[in-house]
Structure 1
């Protein structure tokens, strides 16, 4: 196994679900996403890690949700983005065709963080390695709620997340009693309709 990916698994947790990546998807994203990422897809598939706290995903399945989330924001015209990974609570990791891993959306909080830089093609594979190396359980566990949520609600399927009902944008509390298992894409679209994404104060744009 690639040393970088082995360290990622050590930090986030073992895979517990795997979906093979079809050749058609590899062909579609050749020249769009970095070769290193496609190589990881070939070897590891799209997976859930750490009991479902972090997921690598099929970008196609999230195109509608991402388009809905970024509509009307500064992100909409900056780059062409593809969702390549997500957390259990609505953390979304976007890859920009010109800017790499420059955007993280926290959909449950209606916030995003954008980094102001452009990358050359030669930088992209290194970006992929840096992205996976930067992940650890604590960084994707919202308020340390993943363990209690999994115990209370059960494990997530590949198309599910833990969502707050009512949504935090409605003024609901970030409390374990308000979490439910919800369909990820549908819930992200709902969140996009409730509140427009706003940048964090430390975001570059």
Structure 2
């Protein structure tokens, strides 16, 4: 039987369209670093894609270099050891900190790193489960979509026009939004996730919209 919060997630997002089992050795590697409930999800579900690829749970090891590139030069590198645990179809990366839980989102297409002050306080590992349960249990399909220039969501139209995503792909705009591209279906492409996110990082340093965070007090 699934954990209740994840069962509710499945009710909304459907069964996985793709799944890779997680080995016991890998679970042992991350036990003590990431929340216990996440280890339960990985053991039961594997790393998987849901809702036709809207959102994916991922192997953090495969995203360490991308995460490091995006956090480099930001205060977050001194706050916690963050790891990517999920990503969406448009390249948003959902990070879990070893002391802060699921607390940071990198919105790559806008070159933004999002976090709230009250999410960045260190907590014992056993207290991190609620942040994971909230990430999945409170999720809605539109949370992992993107509006075009007229406010109309793109994901379902992108699948029809460009086809469903493979596990290493995302939908991205060309030209990129951060260099003046328009958020239209015609400008959307199916792209390899790794190279595209590295390219986006090169355009500009990420902004931190919630600038009222006192990073000095949060330094590890």
Smaller-chain TM-score range?
A: over 0.9
Q: Are the equivalent residues in 2 in contact too, given 1:66–1:83 (CA < 8 A)?
A: yes
Equivalent position of 1:74 in the other structure? 75
Query: In the TM superposition, what whole-angstrom CA distance separates every residue of 1:54-101 from its partner, at most 9, and x where no partner exists?
Result: 000000111111101111122222111000001100111100111111
Equivalent position of 2:150 in the other structure? none
Q: Runs of 5+ in structure 1 lacking a partner? A: none
Q: Are the equivalent residues in 2 in contact too, given 1:114–1:203 (CA < 8 A)?
A: no
The TM-score normalised by the length of structure 2 is 0.88
**Greater radius of gyration (CA):** 2
In 1, distance between residues paired with 2:25 and 2:195? 25
In 2, distance between residues paired with 1:109 and 1:13? 28
2:122 to 92, 114, 118: 118
User: Could you say what secondary structure the match of 2:17 adopts?
Assistant: strand
Q: Runs of 5+ in structure 2 lacking a partner? A: 148-152, 216-220
User: Could you say what secondary structure the match of 1:122 adopts?
Assistant: helix
Query: In the TM superposition, what whole-angstrom CA distance separates every residue of 1:138-192 from its partner, at most 9, and x where no partner exists?
Result: 1111111100111111000111100111111111111111111111122111111
In 1, distance between residues paired with 2:72 and 2:188? 26
The TM-score normalised by the length of structure 1 is 0.95
Aligned residues: 205
| 1:202 to partner: Cα distance | 6.8
In 2, distance between residues paired with 1:200 and 1:146? 25
Q: Are the equivalent residues in 2 in contact too, given 1:20–1:45 (CA < 8 A)?
A: yes
* Root mean square deviation, CA, Å: 1.4
